[in-house]
């Protein structure tokens, strides 16, 4: 067995016979001091317990980093769910745009670049639209101005109204202006289709089909040396 000197902590072997011969008292072969092996024990000196570790302070994480960590560790969103929501939002936006275009279709017709698209869409969807108008394509041909045969203070104007557009359009308002030598208006008047057409109008004015025109107007007097016709959209 091994004996441990309580004085110098030296350890050395001791037989049972040596221990019994001296009543348990032995001499250290290092420091030469005598001790009782029965009181000191023969085991190795006890190792003092290690100090308990100090509790760690809680980790302080800024709020901004907490939000970032929460996003990093958040479970991934479903791709199908995200796609479904995106499609639903797209359908909703398109529906709102279609409703807005439907209620503002007449305003859209006033833009030449949009008119063909609006009319094509309404032809397919069956939404009503006002007829197309193009007063610049209307022409008065073969016009003549002379004294009225039945009224000495009146004038009679005749001619043919032609629609040179490639589509039918509403019968226009006819504006007649008499002017003096300086080009200033002397007299003016506007006429509805029922007033200037020889035959009552029916429906829209077809293209390439002239309509006979006749007007009976009061003579504006010698100050009027010229006149001008203008067609206006109804």
Number of domains in the chain: 3
Residues 124 and 192 in one domain: no
Residues 218-226 have a mean pLDDT of 91
Q: Confirm whether 63 is domain-assigned.
A: no
Q: What are the backbone dihedrals phi and psi of residue 183, each rounded to the nearest 5 degrees, phi first?
A: 85, 10
**Same structural domain, 188 and 211:** yes
Q: Are residues 200 and 159 in the same domain?
A: yes
Does 113 share its domain with 179?
no
Comparison of pLDDT for 179 and 125, the residue scoring more: 179
224 in the same domain as 148: yes
Give Cα separations from 135 to 77, 128, 138, 196 (angstroms): 60, 21, 5, 16
- Are 209 and 148 a contacting pair, CB within 8 Å? no
Assess whether pLDDT exceeds 50 at residue 128.
yes
- Does 201 map to a domain? yes
Do 208 and 190 share a structural domain?
yes
Q: Return mean pLDDT, the chain.
A: 81
For residue 65, is pLDDT > 60? Answer: no
Domain contains 49? no
For residue 53, being part of any structural domain is answered with: no
| Bridge partner list, 218 | 154
pLDDT tens-digit profile of 159-211?
Answer: 999 999 999 999 999 999 999 999 999 999 999 999 999 999 889 999 989 99
Within-domain flag for 160: yes
Q: What is the Cα 6 distance to its own chain's centre?
A: 91
CATH code assigned at 167:
2.70.50.60
* Whether residues 148 and 195 fall in one domain: yes
Is 27 within a domain? yes
**Could you tell me if 163 and 141 lie in one domain?**
yes
Does one domain contain both 201 and 187? Answer: yes
The verdict on 103 and 124 lying in the same domain is yes
Q: Mean per-residue pLDDT for 16-29?
A: 76
Claim to verify: residue 219 and residue 186 sit in the same structural domain: yes
Report the percent of the chain where pLDDT is more than 70: 82
156 and 114 part of one domain:
no
Q: Which two tokens stand for residue 90?
A: 């797209």
Domain housing 21 = 2-40
Residue 9 lies in a domain: yes
How far is it, in rounded angstroms, from Cα 143 to Cα 161? Answer: 9
pLDDT in tens, 69-110: 566 555 566 777 788 888 888 888 888 877 777 667 777 776
Q: Nearest CA to 125 among 104, 98, 100, 107?
A: 98
- Whether 209 maps to a domain, the answer reads yes
| DSSP per-residue codes, 1-41 | -EEE-TTT--EEE--HHHHHHTTTEEE-TTT--EEEHHHH-
């Amino acid at each position: 067995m091994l004996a441990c000197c309580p004085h110098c902590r030296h350890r050395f072997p001791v037989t049972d016979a040596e221990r019994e011969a001296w009543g348990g008292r032995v001499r250290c072969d290092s420091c030469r001091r005598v001790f009782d092996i029965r009181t000191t024990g023969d085991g190795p000196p006890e190792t003092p317990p290690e100090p308990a570790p100090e509790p760690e302070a809680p980790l302080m994480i800024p709020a901004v980093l907490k939000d970032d960590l929460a996003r990093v560790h958040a479970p991934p969103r479903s791709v199908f769910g995200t796609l479904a929501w995106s499609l639903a939002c797209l359908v909703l936006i398109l529906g709102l745009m279609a409703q807005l275009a439907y209620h503002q279709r007449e305003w859209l017709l006033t833009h030449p670049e949009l008119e063909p698209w609006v009319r094509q869409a309404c032809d397919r969807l069956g939404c009503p639209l006002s007829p197309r108008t193009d007063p610049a394509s209307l022409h008065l041909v073969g016009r003549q101005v002379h004294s009225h045969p039945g009224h000495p203070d009146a004038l009679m104007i005749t001619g043919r109204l032609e629609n040179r557009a490639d589509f039918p359009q509403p019968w226009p308002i006819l504006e007649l202006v008499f002017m003096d030598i300086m080009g200033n208006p002397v007299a003016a008047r506007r006429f509805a289709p029922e007033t200037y057409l020889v035959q009552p109008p029916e429906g829209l004015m077809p293209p390439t089909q002239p309509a006979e025109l006749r007007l009976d107007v009061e003579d504006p007097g010698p100050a009027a040396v010229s006149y001008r016709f203008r067609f206006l959209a109804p």
